Structure 1
Amino acid sequence: MNFFTEQDQARRNSKILIALFAVAVCSLIAITNLVVAITFWLMDGQLQDSSHVTELLHSAGKPSFAHYFSWQNFGKISLMVSSAIAIVIAYKWLQLAAGGKRVAESLGGVRIHPNTDNVNEKRVLNVVEEMALASGMPVPAVYLLRGEKGINAFAAGNTPADAVIGVTQGAIEQFDSEQLQGVVAHEFSHILNGDMRLNLRMIALLSGIVFIGNIGELIMRAGGRHGGYHTTKRSGDARVFMLGLAFVIIGWLGVFFGGLIKAAISRQREFLADASAVQFTRNPQGIANALKIIGGYQAGSRVFSAKASEISHMFIAEALGSWASFDTHPEIEKRIRKIEPGWNGAMISRRMRVEASAQAGAALHGKEQRKGQAAMAAVAGAAFVAAQQTQAIHSAVADAEHSIESIPYGLKKLAHEPLGASALVYSLLLDADKATAEQQITYIEQCQVKGLVMLCLQIKEDVAGLDVSLRLPLIELSLPALKMLSAEQYKQFKKTLLLIIRADKKFEIFEWCLFQLVRHYLAPEFETIRASKPQYKKAKQVAKPYAIVLSALVRYGHDDEGEQHRGFTKGANTAGLYTLTLLPEQDCSMDDFVKAVNQLANCFPLLKPKLLKGFADCVSHDGVVSPIEQEVLTAIAAVMDCPQPRLLMS
């Protein structure tokens, strides 16, 4: 599996979605014009009694049908219908611009605090953290749909930076850590392969189609009654009522078209996401058993929120039950057999809540079991993914678990609280020079946040003594807690962060990495961000900025000039830019480097992996990847909106 190929496929699916939507709108406009003409033709005149219909239809003076179906009327009706749809879509799109949190909150989801003491909630947070660090993307916020006993989950957002994971109460109660890992890996696939943005577009577009039916209901009420709300007296003009009924029927057609479009786009993506779950975890039993539990669970995967129908295509399993017009997901049995071809057809029956102690035991058992199943998992995953990439990501998951365990408990606990996370980020930037550090502490004092300065001073030595390889995982673990800042607190946090960075009047590479990671993944939560637009399809179009970044990268990792040239050549050849030469140091300053990375962010999805692979080959050509090289690669990938599994050589 190549995630960038799938991102490109998602872009093509976006075009298919727009084409299907255009067909649906044109069909609705045509049908609306036809229905309006027929309605006014049949119901011409003030009808008080049904016996008048026959007389009306046979009256010699009745205008012909063509009188009601004119191009002038067609233009007016088409303009009204298309304008109404466009306004509704624009309004819904503005709502969804806030990212995944808006979707989760509309379903009644409540963000799980990073410092929660609930065993089930803590378990799902731990799984999400491990998968995020392994895949090289930020740790997303996790939302819990309390009261939803059905087993389900979803991922929502416009980009990895504003993505969230949502889980139902039933999911965290019925799944153990191994099954949660499979489900979370499934949702991470939707994040990485571009499904989330496609799904949000689908919500916005389909809301415009369905809105016509809502208009019809209002027209019916207006035509069916007049006077007070509770009066039962009929209106004198039955045409209004009939016209409203026609619009309701058209609205039903809109729902039909919407279900058809959702089914056409989303069903194929579920098989892909299941395969990705195997790739991420290298354990087919995790996602397979999760699906078996959903199939054998008394409450199933039903979600009862009023907004569930709107985002039914985003869940891991069918959320609407058997009454839905179109199934947005393949049958669970087919999905399980794709993962386990030899499955005997037996579901896992679950009727009551699994106790925390049993879950903990299952988690430990699952961890040991995964080690013994590596060979079997590789065979099962071979149908979906390339073995080399599977092994790399599986190793990245293990490396992420090790990194989290290696962070001192006190610092890890602080990373899960907004105040502690702020202190950790500030402390990572405190200068070794005493005078500069004092100036930085002064800037922190100006925040006027009670206890912040004292906390920074208390952890200063622990942070300074932290292994360099743990700085990046610590920053990434802090992001969910920092997202819980208020808008005003974030504004002050960002201002102070910049003052601390500029205190020594130098802009170092670690400072750039830290700031890019924090800004890129926090800004969508608090600011209006313009997404980068693809401009470059071929590597030669970005040869200059690529040479600048590659030249800077080899100098961060190597002091020996020969190694610099070998690393540069390796990276340039991987990108297909065979004529590039290593630039002089003065031509790849920090400012040049920053501008070049921002330019590379505007490449098309299929070009980005080639460029990132070149950077990775550059730093790993000697078999050694230093922590600073890993930090730079992660920051570059973040700016380019391309989360990448970390390199594991050391």
Structure 2
Amino acid sequence: MAATMNFFRAQDEARGRTTKLVVLLVLAILVLTGTLYVLAVFLTGYHTVPTRSAGVSSLIFDGAHRDWFQPKLFCLTTGLALAVILGGSLMRIAELSKGGGAIALRLGGRLVSGVTKDPAERRYLNVVQEMALAAGLPVPLCFVLDHDGSINAFAAGNSPQDAAVGVTRGALLNLTRDELQGVIAHEFSHIGNGDMKLNLRIIGAIAGLTALAQLGYIFFRLAGSVRGKNSAPIALGMILTGVVVLLIGSGGILFAKVIQAAVSREREYLADASAVQFTRNPLGLGSALKKIAGFSGARREASEAELEAQHLFFASSGGFLEALFSTHPPINERIRRIDPAFDGIIPDVQPVAVSADDASPVSRAAPVASAAPPLPVAASRAVPTDIQIQDSVGFRGRISETLRNASDDPVSAMGLVLGLLLRRDPALRAAQLSKARNLAGGEVAREAEKFEPLLRALPAGSRVPLLDLSMPALRQLSAEQQNLFRQAITQVGYEAEDGLIVLLIQASMRRYLSREKNPPSRPGDLAAAYALVLTAVVRTSGESAEAQARAYRLGAVVLGLPGLDANLLPAEKVDLQKVDEALAVIAGQSVYDRRKFVRACGAAMLHDDRAEPAEVEIVRAVGDSLGISFATGLGR
């Protein structure tokens, strides 16, 4: 595969081009506001003069009196245009910010139950769970577009904690497991690369420009309502203003849609490259694209909501002037980038029967290797690559069917989370359970007690994946229920003997149950926070003191932050309360800084070329608590 395509370089190039295109979109808005000012200045050259007819005035143009420097007019026109654009944008973004589930329902999606008996839907859920476990992401809500017989899929939401994925009925019926896995990996790449938030911003920009065009229609209506003496010049001025605003707004819509299409095309190339990197199976994604090309003649007419959200889908649904405004690259070009040997032949599409193995419960993450790849001998203790860290954190264990089934039910899922936090001491455990007795009439506490023996028996590395499997059920709780559960988790607390993993589980749940998309930045010494949390992570291993010191130093090299303590902190300085506070400081940093810290933890874990299940669980929990995915690398 490496000989045919450098997927990391493809991601870097696509990211760079996307940045340039977003800059062009901003420049387009500036050009539109500037054009409005220029035309306003031009119109000020017109003024009325009396004619020989009594009471009649004539509108003439006097270029000699035109003044291009009019600060008040500039502020008026530019301020009005920006107010309309920003107002329209913010209103549209607010409407779309309800989460991926709300967007999926608007597209006509049906939420797939975790206990569905449909073999194709069961296979779909299993593939999504595999992707989530391998990516270190909470499992998103899964939807099916039953009314759509074509092959397509989408991802929607504002962030990983409120994401949703959906597939069409045609995708379930016509894709093999490998092909479906490639499509789902593509959608997970959109989640991991932050494309969902970018899509919302682009939609908002277009909505703002549409609002500018609507302002032109408002001027037309106002012109028709003008009455009284000398109303003709006023009405004419409003009509001219309406024409100008309408033309600028319409031109802006055209310009923005072209840029939107170009941005979306680049993100599709990036998601394709990331999906192949993630699954290590370019044939699956390539074969799915070929089947979509074979379905090109069987498209139905898209609904208004689907046309508005075309850029969210795996493949374009076609339409007027598709070559210019399509939000996706030509499908043959996408296939060739994945499979340079593609000969242009598109096979016939036939329905695929779902076997019992395909619909079997998830047991391990298929996309990852069976063991962390060893570092080259000559590069011993060198910084591990992104791909080595990603391979090492994939879940390879098994979760019992009883716990999997429990994770599908909201009340039982709350019981599982609570059960993972319970202490071994009977008195302390009873005190913890008493703080959760008000949840679901005490049912959550009873579920936690029921599952406690199974949770105690979980092998190392299985607790965080179980949390990820529980996320779709937890997201079905009402806002009030989520808030009560979040408060209960906080009240349950943690003690030093609980270990770092319990603290990280609580931090992860607080983050994913929070209504705040981005935690507020907490003031604090970032270098000290890095040192403390990295030390806590390293000291959870069972290695010798010398090995832990080497692991810390390697992580510190990755961070490369001035003022960061170069040596492992003493064990007595690792207080869980202070670690929790330091984690909050890191959580308030940029995505880039959070990714860099998670990468440092992964590098420290692999300092000896090995990754034990307990170490993997800690690193995954750090990523979960900071909202960072392992799906598409950690370097950016």
**How far apart in 2 are the matches of 1:584 and 1:221?**
74
Equivalent in the alignment of 1:212: 212
Counterpart code for 1:327: S
Aligned with 1:572 (options 547, 556, 561): 556
What SS does the corresponding residue of 2:354 show, helix, strand or coil?
Answer: helix
Aligned with 1:530 (options 501, 512, 518): 518
Q: CA deviation at 1:5?
A: 11
Alignment of 1:30-49 (within 5 A): 30-33=34-37
Alignment of 1:147-296 (within 5 A): 147-220=147-220, 243-296=241-294
In 2, are the aligned partners of 1:280 and 1:390 still within 8 Å (CA)?
no
Counterpart code for 1:492: L
Equivalent in the alignment of 1:552: 536
Which whole-Å deviations, capped at 9, do the CAs of 1:33-73 have from their partners, x for residues lacking one? 5666778989989xxxxxxxxx9xxx977353677987355
| Overall identity of the aligned pairs, in % | 31
**How far apart in 2 are the matches of 1:601 and 1:453?**
30
Equivalent in the alignment of 1:82: 82
Q: CA deviation at 1:574?
A: 4.5
**How far apart in 2 are the matches of 1:127 and 1:43?**
70
1:330 aligns with 2:329: yes
Equivalent in the alignment of 2:312: 314
The Cα RMSD (Å) is: 4.2
1:24 aligns with 2:28: yes
1:486 aligns with 2:495: no
Q: CA deviation at 1:171?
A: 2.6
Counterpart code for 2:90: A
1:360 aligns with 2:359: no
In 2, are the aligned partners of 1:145 and 1:167 still within 8 Å (CA)?
yes
Counterpart code for 1:307: A
Q: CA deviation at 1:129?
A: 1.0
Equivalent in the alignment of 1:512: 503
Q: Could you say if the C-alpha distance between residues 26 and 454 of structure 1 is closer, same or farther in structure 2, counting changes exceeding 3 Å?
A: closer
What SS does the corresponding residue of 1:142 show, helix, strand or coil?
Answer: strand
In 1, are the aligned partners of 2:532 and 2:574 still within 8 Å (CA)?
yes
Structure 1, unmatched stretches of 5+, are 46-54, 228-235, 375-386
Deviates more, 1:244-253 or 1:278-287: 244-253
Q: Could you say if the C-alpha distance between residues 37 and 599 of structure 1 is closer, same or farther in structure 2, counting changes exceeding 3 Å?
A: closer
| TM-score of the superposed pair, with normalisation by structure 1 | 0.79
In 2, are the aligned partners of 1:554 and 1:568 still within 8 Å (CA)?
yes
**How far apart in 2 are the matches of 1:66 and 1:102?**
57
Equivalent in the alignment of 2:577: 591
Counterpart code for 1:439: A
Structure 2, unmatched stretches of 5+, are 1-5, 228-233, 370-383
Q: CA deviation at 1:311?
A: 3.3
Alignment of 1:569-648 (within 5 A): 569-576=553-560, 580-601=566-587, 608=594, 610-622=596-608, 624-644=610-630
**How far apart in 1 are the matches of 2:459 and 2:404?**
14
Which whole-Å deviations, capped at 9, do the CAs of 1:452-501 have from their partners, x for residues lacking one? 34433332322222223322221110111101101111122122222333
Q: Could you say if the C-alpha distance between residues 279 and 22 of structure 1 is closer, same or farther in structure 2, counting changes exceeding 3 Å?
A: closer
Aligned with 1:452 (options 444, 450, 470): 444
**How far apart in 2 are the matches of 1:645 and 1:181?**
14
Q: CA deviation at 1:205?
A: 1.8
In 1, are the aligned partners of 2:464 and 2:621 still within 8 Å (CA)?
no
Alignment of 1:388-537 (within 5 A): 400=395, 402-403=396-397, 406-449=398-441, 451-501=443-493, 508-523=499-514, 527-531=515-519
Counterpart code for 1:530: N
Deviates more, 1:206-215 or 1:591-600: 591-600
What SS does the corresponding residue of 2:452 show, helix, strand or coil?
Answer: helix
Q: Could you say if the C-alpha distance between residues 562 and 389 of structure 1 is closer, same or farther in structure 2, counting changes exceeding 3 Å?
A: closer
Which whole-Å deviations, capped at 9, do the CAs of 1:211-238 have from their partners, x for residues lacking one? 22233345446657999xxxxxxxx957
In 2, are the aligned partners of 1:151 and 1:302 still within 8 Å (CA)?
no
**How far apart in 1 are the matches of 2:176 and 2:605?**
38
Which whole-Å deviations, capped at 9, do the CAs of 1:121-140 have from their partners, x for residues lacking one? 33222111101111112212
**How far apart in 2 are the matches of 1:337 and 1:534?**
47
| TM-score of the superposed pair, with normalisation by structure 2 | 0.81
Q: Could you say if the C-alpha distance between residues 275 and 308 of structure 1 is closer, same or farther in structure 2, counting changes exceeding 3 Å?
A: same
Deviates more, 1:484-493 or 1:1-10: 1-10
In 2, are the aligned partners of 1:152 and 1:301 still within 8 Å (CA)?
no
**How far apart in 1 are the matches of 2:113 and 2:550?**
47
What SS does the corresponding residue of 2:154 show, helix, strand or coil?
Answer: strand
What SS does the corresponding residue of 1:165 show, helix, strand or coil?
Answer: strand
In 2, are the aligned partners of 1:6 and 1:194 still within 8 Å (CA)?
no
**How far apart in 2 are the matches of 1:97 and 1:69?**
44
**How far apart in 2 are the matches of 1:7 and 1:164?**
26
